[in-house]
Amino acid sequence: MQQLISKKDNRRVKIITGIRRCGKSYLLFELFTKYLHEIGIAENQIIHLALDEFPNAKYRNPIELDKYIREQIIDKSKKYYVMIDEIQFVTDIKNPYVDDKNAKLGFIDVVLGLMKIKNVDVYVTGSNSKMLSSDVLTQFRDRGDEIRLYPLSFAEFFETYKGKERDVWVDYYTYGGMPFVLTLETHEEKSQYLRDLFHRTYLKDVLERYNIQNDTEILDNLLDIVASSIGSLTNPTKLSNTFLSEKKIRISSATISKYLEYFEEAFLISRAKRYDVKGKKYIQTPLKYYYTDIGLRNAKIGFRQQEETHIMEHVLYCDLIRRGYDVDVGVVEQNIKTEAGKKTRKQLEVDFVVNRGERRYYIQSALSIANPEKRKREIASLVRIPDSFSKIVVVRDYIKPWKDENGILYLGVEQFLLDEDAINI
C-alpha cells in the first residue's frame, strides 16, 4: 500500500507482481480503492476490470478493451484510475488497420496508449499459465514500476490471528502467510488447500507455460528436494547427483538449472547468492534456495522436516526480502592451524548479509544462545567481520534486546518480525 500510494500519479504503469493467490487483486480492488475513496476520488473515476471473469471476456480483445476504458474517461478535469486485473488475458490480434500480416495489437499497446492520457493513472496485475507475472513486468521494461506483493508477513498474520497469542508463531511457521489459509480452521483444510495450490496452480502453470510434458515427475521431485534442503548450500550439480543417488534418475545440471529458473520466474522460490564478506566478492556456487512462503514449503513435503532452526531462518529470509532488502548468504574465511600444525582456511557462515542503499546488517539466526559455548559458535563469524556495520543475532527465545561486548545486538524472533525498526536499536 505504501508503494502504491507513493507511486500514484507518477505517469508510469504500476505492475503488481507476486505469487498466485497472494492477494494482488484484493490489494488493488479493495485496499487501494478504499484509500482512493478516502482521499476524495469518486466511484466513477475508478475503472475496475477483472479480465479473468466471464462477463468481461469481450475485453480480452485489445481494441474492445481500449474502447471500453476510453468511453469512461469523460471529464478532462478529473483524474481517472484504471485497474486491470489479469492483463495477460488480452489476446494478441492482427492489426486491422495495416496490411502487414505480422503487425499485432496486444495489451501493451492499450496500456501504453492510456499512459499518454494526462488524466489517467494505470495499474495492472498478471499471472497464469500463459504468462507469468515476470513476463508482464518484462513487457513494460522501463515504462513501468514493479510493486511486488508477498504472502502475509508474520506481523500481518499476527494482527489478524484469531487464536491464542502463544500459538501464533507455531501456526505461522507451519502454515505460512497465504491469505486464504487464515479463513480455514483445521489442519486438514489448510494442508489440502496448500497442496492443491501446488499441483493445480503453481506446478500446472509452469508445465503449461513451458510446454513440459515428459518431466512432470522430475519437476515435482525437484520441488521436494529444494523444500527438504532449505537452509543448506546447494547447486544444480549437487541436485543432479541427488536425483541419481536417491531417485535413480539421470538429469543434467543444466536442465536442473533451467527448471529452477522457471520456479523463480513464477515467484515460487528465491535464491540467495553467496558473498565473501572479507574478499568483497560473490562466490558463484553453492547457494541457497528458499520458498516464497514457508507454508507452501511445508505442504510440499507433507509437513515433515519441521526443524525449527531451518524454518526460523526461512521465515527471516522471506521477511527481509519483503522489507525490500537485498539478501545474500555470507562467508567469512578464518586462518587456523590443524592439530598437525599445518595452516589452513576455514569458512564460517553468516546466515544473511543484508543490504539496502548504504545500510548493511549481518544477521545470524539461532534457536538459543543460553549456553556460552553455543553463543560463541553462533557469533564466531560475526566477530571476524572487519567493518562497523550492524551485527545481529536473532533467537527463538523471548528476550529483552541487549548488546554484548562486541557490539552485537541480540533480539527475539517475534520482536524482529513485529518491529521493523528493532534492528536499529
pLDDT digits (tens, 9 = 90+) for 352-403: 999 999 999 999 999 989 889 999 999 999 999 989 999 999 999 889 999 9
Model confidence at 129, pLDDT cuts 50, 70, 90, reads confident
Q: What is the pLDDT of residue 323?
A: 95
Q: What percent of the chain has pLDDT over 70?
A: 99
Q: What is the pLDDT of residue 398?
A: 87
Residue 347 has pLDDT above 80, yes or no: yes
d(C-alpha 325, C-alpha 323), whole Å: 6
Model confidence at 83, pLDDT cuts 50, 70, 90, reads very high
Task: List pLDDT tens digits, range 207-223.
Answer: 999 999 888 999 999 99
Q: What is the pLDDT of residue 317?
A: 97
Q: What is the pLDDT of residue 6?
A: 97
Model confidence at 324, pLDDT cuts 50, 70, 90, reads very high
Long-range contacts, stretch 240-249, CB < 8 angstroms, 24+ apart? 243/218, 247/221, 249/218, 249/221
Residue 130 has pLDDT above 80, yes or no: no
Q: What is the pLDDT of residue 247?
A: 87
Residue 134 has pLDDT above 90, yes or no: no
Residue 343 has pLDDT above 80, yes or no: no
Model confidence at 36, pLDDT cuts 50, 70, 90, reads very high
Q: What is the pLDDT of residue 330?
A: 95
Q: What angle do CA 407, 412, 416 make, to 5 degrees?
A: 85
Domains and CATH numbers, the chain: 2-148 (3.40.50), 150-425 (no CATH)
**Residue range 18-26: mean pLDDT, rounded:** 93
Task: List pLDDT tens digits, range 143-200.
Answer: 899 999 999 999 999 999 988 888 999 999 999 999 999 999 999 999 999 999 988 9
Model confidence at 127, pLDDT cuts 50, 70, 90, reads confident
Q: What is the pLDDT of residue 214?
A: 86
Residue 231 has pLDDT above 90, yes or no: no
| C-alpha distance from residue 321 to each of 138, 150, 314, 327, 424 (Å) | 21, 9, 11, 7, 17
**Residue range 264-282: mean pLDDT, rounded:** 93
Q: Give the β-pairing of 13-17 and 144-148.
A: parallel
Q: Give the β-pairing of 409-412 and 402-403.
A: antiparallel
Q: Which three cell numbers stand for residue 137?
A: 513486468
Q: What is the pLDDT of residue 148?
A: 92
Mean pLDDT of the chain: 93
Q: What is the pLDDT of residue 273?
A: 94
Q: What is the pLDDT of residue 289?
A: 96
Q: What is the pLDDT of residue 294?
A: 96
Q: What is the pLDDT of residue 29?
A: 96
Q: What is the pLDDT of residue 363?
A: 97
Q: What are phi and psi of 138, to 5 degrees?
A: -60, -35
Q: For residue 91, what is the DSSP state?
A: P
